Structure 1
Amino acid sequence: MKYILVTGGVISGVGKGVIASSFGLLLKNCGINVTAIKIDPYINIDAGTFSPYEHGEVYVLEDGAEVDLDLGNYERFLDITLHKDNNITTGKIYQRVIEEERKGSYLGKTVQVVPHITNAIQEWVEKVSHVPVSPNGEVPQVCIVELGGTIGDIEGMAFVEAFRQFQFRVGHENFCCVHVSPIMESKNEFKTKPTQATVRELRGLGLSPDLVVCRSSNNIMNSVDSIREKISMFCHVTPENVIFNPDVKPIYKVPLILEKQGVLDFFRDRLKLGTAADTRVKEMKMWKRFTEKIDRLSKTVTIGLVGKYTKFEDCYASLTRALEHASYHSNRRLQLKYFDSELLSLETKATNTSEYHQTWSEFCKVDGIIVPGGFGKRGLEGKIAACRWARENKKPFLGICLGLQAAVIEFARSVLELKDADTEEEQPAGIKLENPVVVYMPEHNPGNMGGTMRLGKHETHFRPEHESKLKLLYGNKSRIEERHRHRYEVNKKYVPDFEKNGFLFTGVDEKEVRMEIAELKSHPYYVAVQFHPEYLSRPLRPSPPFLGLILAASGKLDAYIEKECRQVTSTDDDDSDYESSDNRQRVQIGKVGSSSQLAPPCDSESG
């Protein structure tokens, strides 16, 4: 097993996750099986109880683990399925060591950070690195480990010490360290002192980086030679092992930027991988074609995201990526506008009329609307108002998790005339709703916040008695598998009233108890799902609900469905990208490179 440790210096948020994912993509396209581990030095057991403003979105894995959003990057770039143990936290490590101490496993010895905590870290990494993550079940050959936080943080010291020992445990040819550090720009001059300082600190802790990745603005590309020489001199690396990762959009260009600077050759030589140069050229062609297509797009599609965590883009990271994937494959450049749901509510109108009207004025200009998941009553009325506007104005709409529940509440109030229809979530003590159209789930445990929701992969079955656009987008399959994260569900007793009025629940769980998919019958595209389809969206395989939203917002959904949901690659950004039913062997835009993969994305077999 080969190990690549990715560390970061100077500041957090320097892009270690995307760089680690890019390394994995390049290696995987050489025919090397890759896995990834993310280390988060916080004491929390997992990310499940975090506010999105703390570390961005909470990403959910197939086994129900609530983890850091960087694992989403790994899964999207590498198209692999990770598990709960691929995310290590200080809390998990200490919990395991304390449990062993309680069992008497240390035979009365004093339990200390060194060697007990550091040994537990090393054993965890070695064990998880050998767990298969690809559909073929093959054991990985390379494990990429990203150490979260910044070198020098007291929280991460035990992990740094563990890897100082680990490099000798596995051997020089099986371990390399990559350090990511920003190059600061000041008055048209680039400063390397912060990078010199962080590398000096890392080396003082016993880890000497084999490769230094410099993050900066695009302007740095005019000064790479002088900066490379300076960093090489003071950071104990050869000049060719100093590479640059300037700011680029989209992030899918990062692997190509790193490849051009010889990253694959470095790993091949340093870790004795023996990858063939001609192989990687062939395998990367698909990814390069995908990024080149993005550069050619000129037409845009504007989507309005109605949420309450709109000040920080990482709060909806997976959702944003899923919208991007669907837009690129629909020959559109995404223009995503964030709308604070509280500003769309009547409460805001009563207190700040001008801001209310200004927000609605901008909101009415979008081509499509998405209402994502969330928790709590704050901002819910604004989401409900957005659902009503989308329904009444025939605006393409996608609701996810709480977005489904908001759509249900809105329809119950406006069409079923249940004016007091609401959710049981966060109702005042002693208040019993007359019409609780959204209710607690049996699994909910109000005494413990962590891991008490319906989490991870579950089946959704399409009901044969209903026509469904979403079913067609999924390839007309009878069942699908998607990931969930929720504590509340639609009250089943109201379902007949909804369906009599055209609000159809076209998908249910395997026991036909939970409502999983809702579609409005007389609407171009009004779809709401209880699951989170964004977690299974991939750059080359967009998620069907998102693809449907973008196509509908672009005025292309009906043509797409008429052609049996088959779409071909286009050399430009026009709309002539739908093939006829007698030409199904042409390459699909959502399945680039394989004419045999005719099933739509994220189905129950490929998910």
Structure 2
Amino acid sequence: MRSGWCTGCRGLSVSVALSALKPTAGFKAGLRSTSKMKYILVTGGVISGIGKGIIASSVGTILKSCGLHVTSIKIDPYINIDAGTFSPYEHGEVFVLDDGGEVDLDLGNYERFLDIRLTKDNNLTTGKIYQYVINKERKGDYLGKTVQVVPHITDAIQEWVMRQALIPVDEDGLEPQVCVIELGGTVGDIESMPFIEAFRQFQFKVKRENFCNIHVSLVPQPSSTGEQKTKPTQNSVRELRGLGLSPDLVVCRCSNPLDTSVKEKISMFCHVEPEQVICVHDVSSIYRVPLLLEEQGVVDYFLRRLDLPIERQRRKMLMKWKEMADRYDRLLETCSIALVGKYTKFSDSYASVIKALEHSALAINHKLEIKYIDSTDLEPSTLQEEPVRYHEAWQKLCSAHGVLVPGGFGVRGTEGKIQAISWARKQKKPFLGVCLGMQLAVVEFSRNVLGWQDANSTEFDPNTNHPVVIDMPEHNPGQMGGTMRLGKRRTLFQTTNSVMRKLYGEADYLEERHRHRFEVNPALKKSLEEQGLKFVGQDVEGERMEIVELEGTPTVTEVGAAPLTLKSLN
């Protein structure tokens, strides 16, 4: 692996004030005929976190491989307007879209699997739909009627889905033919009841030949008996039926392939044919999930059930997936990356970072080993209190091939990150800082090279004499949600002599997504550059420092970009 040192600022783009409460232009457009639109609803039972997002993405993938245009919608029953103010421990990472929407991380899977570009309205929450209905009531749109969950909330849900399903998401700008809808949570949750009722009505509104329900359920296999248990799935399907939805496919998540007898039992008790019971057991990588569905005849079932105009000469796209999955299983050499962060106990907090690393490792034919390091373990205070943890953390860091410091908020753990950055710079280890990671790299350089011992970000020390990272002028300090610099933005390279420019194929600019409130202080740019820290990439206005490279070491780079890759798995 090349030696390099690179960091990312809290985003590369300028954010426009987002109103997550206000539907986009596509939502406002008049309702067109959706007689040919096919809707596939993915629900889940028994437990959450069962893999509905990967199943939904995989269903979309195999349909797209047949020549269909596919879009996706994720429904989250929480009352939050969007995911922007969630703690990483609460709900994993916040995924940022081109339009600046702060959404559920499953939309990242949809974009990566399907090679599409979604908008904030592709993530529907209880908060959004209630706000939409309340705003209509305030404007008098309901003409004095008593506004109720049924029919007003349920009607609004159906209208939202039907309108958003028509918005083009492919580069060719063509209207989608299939909309895959994932309903978050599990069947029976009180929060999801309005959505279940909405889809109970919806299946009759759009007609049976245009609506299909996939129910994802857990088939546990207790180690005490080794027997695959079907009762949780039976109960889950029974509850779903009691709410008015009957599954067309029952997707069983299990550790091992389903026994034939187990499949037949689920078929009998859940009132579906054996071929409608789909096994998705644990596999070596998620790249194999679309292949599992294809092998079990899911495409052929959709062809019959939804009368889809599928191209029978299939499926070049799936051949690429098989090649990718096979290559993943054959990898021998390992590349280890130390991920130094605050939320390392919950890997979903860095989902996009991890996916980007996995894709990069696969591209260079290496297995990826991520060494998760809690940044507080690298701080001197840990040496005094828990020396074993301290030395273990430093051993992980020193044994890695490269170091990555991702984004974050709050002062906790920042000094540990600075320690890791300092070590990487001095050892000339490959280093990438994302978001806060770039800002702290500038802080570290200011302290240890320029001699500004109190250099800091005003986020952590508002009274520092050397504010190398400052609050952006447009940030609204009185409100947290939707006030950051968000969405896809363009960064212009300022020189041809740039490592990052070479990595982007000698392009004149790059476009990446951003999510941050703070920026490198432009007033200190000259002082930093005089000591060798070169800001080789800036925004289109030339006001924000977004790509930084360390002079004198040609493979040492800093880049500021949110970890939300714009590349698909295809």
Separation in 2, partners of 1:84, 1:381: 35
1:300 aligns with 2:334: yes
1:376 aligns with 2:410: yes
1:448 aligns with 2:483: no
2:518 alignment counterpart: 488
One of 25, 35, 42 as aligned partner of 1:6 = 42
Q: Per-residue deviation at 1:349?
A: 2.3
Map of 1:151-550 to 2, 5 A cutoff? 151-186=187-222, 187-218=225-256, 221=257, 223-280=258-315, 282-427=316-461, 432-464=463-495, 467-523=497-553, 525-540=555-570
Deviations 1:78-100 (A, max 9, x none): 01000010000000000000001
Q: Percent identity?
A: 60
Q: Per-residue deviation at 1:236?
A: 1.1
Code of the residue aligned with 1:132 in structure 2: it is: P
Q: Per-residue deviation at 1:230?
A: 0.5
Separation in 1, partners of 2:527, 2:415: 22
1:586 alignment counterpart: none
What root-mean-square deviation, in Å, do the aligned CA atoms of Structure 1 and Structure 2 show?
1.1
Q: Per-residue deviation at 1:473?
A: 1.0
Deviations 1:127-149 (A, max 9, x none): 00000001110000000000000
Separation in 1, partners of 2:409, 2:449: 25
8 A contact 1:397–1:525 mirrored in 2: no
8 A contact 1:300–1:333 mirrored in 2: yes
**SS across alignment from 1:185:** coil
Code of the residue aligned with 2:254 in structure 1: it is: S
Deviations 1:5-49 (A, max 9, x none): 000001000100000000111111111000000000000000000
Q: Per-residue deviation at 1:248?
A: 1.6
Separation in 1, partners of 2:191, 2:178: 26
8 A contact 1:396–1:524 mirrored in 2: no
Separation in 1, partners of 2:424, 2:397: 11
Moved beyond 4 Å, runs of 4+? none
1:83 alignment counterpart: 119
Gaps of 5+ in 1: 541-607
8 A contact 1:77–1:539 mirrored in 2: yes
Separation in 1, partners of 2:362, 2:62: 21
Bigger mean CA deviation after superposition, 352-361 or 180-189: 352-361
Q: Per-residue deviation at 1:278?
A: 2.4
8 A contact 1:396–1:526 mirrored in 2: yes
Deviations 1:519-539 (A, max 9, x none): 112336433332214332432
8 A contact 2:458–2:471 mirrored in 1: yes
Code of the residue aligned with 1:486 in structure 2: it is: H
Bigger mean CA deviation after superposition, 260-269 or 344-353: 344-353
Separation in 2, partners of 1:283, 1:424: 48
1:130 aligns with 2:190: no
1:147 alignment counterpart: 183
Separation in 2, partners of 1:58, 1:498: 32
Code of the residue aligned with 2:291 in structure 1: it is: L
Separation in 1, partners of 2:362, 2:325: 9
8 A contact 1:395–1:524 mirrored in 2: no
Q: Per-residue deviation at 1:113?
A: 0.2
Separation in 2, partners of 1:528, 1:69: 26
**SS across alignment from 2:179:** strand
Separation in 2, partners of 1:527, 1:224: 53
Code of the residue aligned with 2:300 in structure 1: it is: D
Code of the residue aligned with 1:17 in structure 2: it is: G
Separation in 2, partners of 1:521, 1:426: 28
Q: Per-residue deviation at 1:313?
A: 1.1
1:569 alignment counterpart: none
Code of the residue aligned with 2:509 in structure 1: it is: R
Bigger mean CA deviation after superposition, 345-354 or 482-491: 345-354
Code of the residue aligned with 1:366 in structure 2: it is: A
1:598 alignment counterpart: none
**SS across alignment from 1:144:** strand
Code of the residue aligned with 1:321 in structure 2: it is: K
**SS across alignment from 2:313:** helix
Equivalent residues, number: 532
8 A contact 2:550–2:558 mirrored in 1: no
8 A contact 1:391–1:523 mirrored in 2: no
8 A contact 1:56–1:312 mirrored in 2: yes
Higher relative contact order (CA 8 A, sep 6+): 2
**SS across alignment from 2:486:** strand
Separation in 2, partners of 1:349, 1:494: 34
Code of the residue aligned with 1:291 in structure 2: it is: A
Code of the residue aligned with 2:282 in structure 1: it is: D
**SS across alignment from 1:432:** coil
8 A contact 2:209–2:307 mirrored in 1: yes
8 A contact 2:499–2:554 mirrored in 1: no
